[in-house]
């Protein structure tokens, strides 16, 4: 977090990464704990989805959130040498304009919950209360939770990202890099816009959840090429010598455009543009994925200021 704070104050993505103000240690009955002092933040993007009909974030808001998330990743990847490795809607919080926050607290002051004696002084504990979601032109995303983050050139983890959002190299066993964050970002953005997960893992008596995940990747995107499969250490656990999945040999292709149409009901041009935006991040071969900076230049974000 100190690297995130100090790496480059002028980078536009710095404003979308949690700010560390200070830290201190507290010794308690269960040992020493580090305590972090950060800026005040509100609800998560995941909570924002839940209060919206169909869990679909309005497209202009989803574009702005996508832009800010990509700016944050550009800062982490290009300036901080950090891969987040745990991206999901609950790890993106919304920040508050200080004037609006002060106004809200003035209009809705918190009620006292209890009074305790602390080092001879009487201390009043105030009751927690919800705050209004900062939606609209003031929306500002902050990427948080660096507890699983790795240095981009020095990894301590081999299994990263939550299962539903994992790129293929994590399942199949290969070295990962910052492009793993890019794949996961595409899955997060798909969920913001459509209200649904892009890939929904399930298992049965005949195949595993990882089998199903790989099958859906191939159905929605493209098959794995033979030379690509040969780079994975766990290839033989999933594929036969011909490159077919051992436990799900028959696939049912369903293009990404079709999934978008089913969820959104858009016209062909809008569907094609969003699919192109996502595909830049959803390449099975990690070397083929666009960087955060490259994705920020995509036309789908062109209307975002």
For residue 137, pLDDT beyond 60: no
**Half-sphere exposure of residue 100: CA atoms within 13 angstroms, side-chain side:** 14
Q: In this predicted structure, what is the pLDDT of residue 198?
A: 97
Beta bridge partners of 31: 28
CB atoms within 10 A of CB 260: 22
Q: Is the pLDDT of residue 201 over 80?
A: yes
Q: 137-161 in b/e burial notation, b at 16+ Cβ within 10 A?
A: eebbbbbbebeebbebeeeeeeebb
Distance CA 260, CA 267 (A): 10
What is the reported pLDDT for 42?
A: 84
Residues 255-287 pLDDT 10s: 999 999 999 989 999 999 999 999 999 999 999
In the chain, % of residues over pLDDT 90: 75
What would the DSSP string read from start to end of 189-217? HHHHHHSS-S------SSS-HHHHHHHHH
pLDDT above 70 as % of the chain: 97
Q: What is the pLDDT of residue 51?
A: 81
Question: Are the C-beta atoms of residues 72 and 78 closer than 8 Å to each other?
Answer: no
Quick one: pLDDT at residue 170? 97
State yes or no: pLDDT of 134 exceeds 80: no
Q: Which fold has domain 2-96+131-301?
A: Transferase(Phosphotransferase); domain 1 (1.10.510)
Helices 268-279 and 179-194, packing angle to 10 deg: 150
In this prediction, residue 166 carries a pLDDT of 97
Query: Which residues have C-beta within 8 Å of that of residue 121, sequence separation ≥ 6?
Result: none
Query: Residue 84 — pLDDT band, cuts 50, 70, 90?
Result: very high
pLDDT band at 129 (very low <50, low <70, confident <90, very high): confident
Say which residue, 283 or 102, is predicted with more confidence.
283
* Residues 242 and 229: beta-carbon distance below 8 Å: no
For residue range 153-191, list pLDDT tens digits in order.
999 888 999 999 999 999 999 999 999 999 999 999 999
pLDDT band at 196 (very low <50, low <70, confident <90, very high): very high
H or E element, residue 48: helix 45-50
Instruction: Tell me the per-residue pLDDT of 11-47, one tens digit each, with 9 for 90 and over.
Output: 999 999 999 999 999 998 999 999 999 988 888 999 8
Task: Give the confidence band of 103 by pLDDT, cuts at 50, 70, 90.
Answer: confident
Whole-number pLDDT of residue 8: 92
pLDDT of residue 215: 98
Q: Which residue has the tokens 């455009």?
A: 257
Choice between 167 and 58, residue whose per-residue pLDDT is larger: 167
Task: List Cβ neighbours of 299 (8 Å cut-off, separation of 6 or more).
Answer: 273, 276, 277
Which DSSP category does 17 fall into?
Answer: B
Residue 137 — φ and ψ, nearest 5°? Answer: -70, -20
Q: Token pair of 71, please?
A: 């700016």
Ranges of each domain in the chain: 2-96+131-301
Q: Strand ranges (DSSP E) for the chain? A: 20-28, 31-38, 41-44, 82-83, 92-95, 112-118, 121-126, 141-143, 150-151
189 CB-near residues (< 8 Å, 6+ apart): 62, 66, 69, 278
Q: Maximum CA pair distance of the chain? A: 76
pLDDT surpasses 70 at 303: no
**Paired strand residues for 93:** 44, 142
CB 250 within 8 A of CB 219: no
Instruction: Provide the token pair at 258.
Output: 């079709």
User: Under DSSP, is residue 7 helix (H, G, I), strand (E, B) or coil?
Assistant: coil
What's the confidence (pLDDT) of residue 49? 80
């Amino acid at each position: 977090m100190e690297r995130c704070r100090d790496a480059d104050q002028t980078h536009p993505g710095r404003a979308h990464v949690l700010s560390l103000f200070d830290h201190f240690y507290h010794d308690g009955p269960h040992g020493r704990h580090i305590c972090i002092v950060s800026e005040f933040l509100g609800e998560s993007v995941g909570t924002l989805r839940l209060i919206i009909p169909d869990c679909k974030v309005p497209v202009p808001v989803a574009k702005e959130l996508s832009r800010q998330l990509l700016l944050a990743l550009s800062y982490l990847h290009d300036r901080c040498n950090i891969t987040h490795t745990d991206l999901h809607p609950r790890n993106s919080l919304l920040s508050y304009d200080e004037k609006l926050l002060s106004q809200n607290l003035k209009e809705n002051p918190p009620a006292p919950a209890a009074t305790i004696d602390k080092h001879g002084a009487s201390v009043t504990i105030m009751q927690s209360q919800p705050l209004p979601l900062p939606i609209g032109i003031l929306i500002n995303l902050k990427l948080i939770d660096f507890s699983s983050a790795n240095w981009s050139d020095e990894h301590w983890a081999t299994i990263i990202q939550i299962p539903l959002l994992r790129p293929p190299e994590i399942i199949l066993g290969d070295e990962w890099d910052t492009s793993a964050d890019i794949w996961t970002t595409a899955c997060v953005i798909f969920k913001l816009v459509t209200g649904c997960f892009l890939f929904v893992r399930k298992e049965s008596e005949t195949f595993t959840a990882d089998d199903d995940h790989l099958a859906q990747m191939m159905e929605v995107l493209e098959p794995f090429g033979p030379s690509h499969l040969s780079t994975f250490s766990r290839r033989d656990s999933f594929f036969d010598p011909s490159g077919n999945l051992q436990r799900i040999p028959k696939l049912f292709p369903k293009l990404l455009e079709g999934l978008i149409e089913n969820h959104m009901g858009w016209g062909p041009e809008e569907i094609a543009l969003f699919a192109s935006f996502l595909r830049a991040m959803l390449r099975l071969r990690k070397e083929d994925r666009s960087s955060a900076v490259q994705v920020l230049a995509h036309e789908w974000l062109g209307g975002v200021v």
